[in-house]
Amino acid sequence: MRPPAPAPARPKLKLYSFWRSSCSQRVRIALNLKGLEYEYKPVNLLANEQSDPEFERLNPIKYVPALVDGDTVIADSFAILLYLEDMYPQHPLLPQDPQKRALNIQIASIVGSSIQPLQNYPNFIEEKLDSNETIKWTQHHINRGFTALEQLLKGCNTTYATGNEIQLADVFLEPQIYGGVKRFGIHMSIYPVLARLHEAYMEHPAFLAASPEKQPDAPSS
């Protein structure tokens, strides 16, 4: 009897990403944690490439990231992360325990819905304000979110936010902390738990490889 034919190889994943995008960074971390190779497809937000018709077909709202997996196209980092979780269960990001699972989703949602969308101005508003006003707005929303996150994680004595394994909360936290510190001048000394987690992430290869400066489209200096 003939041995069964091997399953056809899946085409490599493609990630449409911008080096500095924290939403793209979340997905890069998860892909690295799950050991999934992917082709990096840069979308230069500074050149408005998210409005190119080719990209708009992938994500009609014209934001990065977008993921292509064979015939499947998924946009929005949260949706992509849940898809990866279902399709590639290695290194699970969502715990089974209902309380821990809810805490992971709450932290992800604070970052994804109550900080990140409020930290950037659309260009047409930015043009009307001076840079002092825009940075104050951004810092206000990041600090408000970080204060809540610090409170939620009060007493956390595990290596990562919700345990000694990296989970969904960590995947959302690190890009937000990284951007807060590097781009928006947030002082982490008032957030000791978040500051400690940031240090732990910065020692982990999956996080290091996903960091903005390591991406092929990052400026060279």
Per CB under 6 A, residues contacting ligand GSH are 21-23, 45, 50, 62-65, 76-78, 112
Residue 65: asked if its preceding bond is cis (omega within 30°), the reply is yes
Choose between 33 and 171: whose C-beta lies nearer to ligand GSH.
Answer: 171
Of the CA atoms within 13 Å of residue 192, those in its CB half-sphere come to 4
Helix-, strand-, coil-residue percentages of the chain, each rounded to 5: 55, 10, 35
92-95, long-range: CB within 8 Å, 24+ apart, which pairs?
Answer: 92/167, 93/30, 93/33, 93/166, 93/167, 93/168, 93/171, 94/167, 94/168, 95/162, 95/163, 95/167
Choose between 50 and 162: whose C-beta lies nearer to ligand GSH.
Answer: 50
d(C-alpha 34, C-alpha 28), whole Å: 10
Q: How far apart are CB 116 and ligand GSH at their closest, in Å?
A: 6
Inter-residue contact 114 to 172 (CB < 8 Å): no
Q: How far apart are CB 154 and ligand GSH at their closest, in Å?
A: 26
Q: How far apart are CB 20 and ligand GSH at their closest, in Å?
A: 8
Inter-residue contact 32 to 46 (CB < 8 Å): no
d(C-alpha 35, C-alpha 11), whole Å: 15
Choose between 25 and 193: whose C-beta lies nearer to ligand GSH.
Answer: 25
Choose between 52 and 163: whose C-beta lies nearer to ligand GSH.
Answer: 52
CB atoms within 10 A of CB 207: 23
Choose between 108 and 193: whose C-beta lies nearer to ligand GSH.
Answer: 108
Choose between 64 and 168: whose C-beta lies nearer to ligand GSH.
Answer: 64
Q: How far apart are CB 26 and ligand GSH at their closest, in Å?
A: 7
Please name every residue paired with 167 in a beta bridge, in sequence order, or none if there are none.
Answer: none
Q: How far apart are CB 81 and ligand GSH at their closest, in Å?
A: 9
Q: How far apart are CB 50 and ligand GSH at their closest, in Å?
A: 5
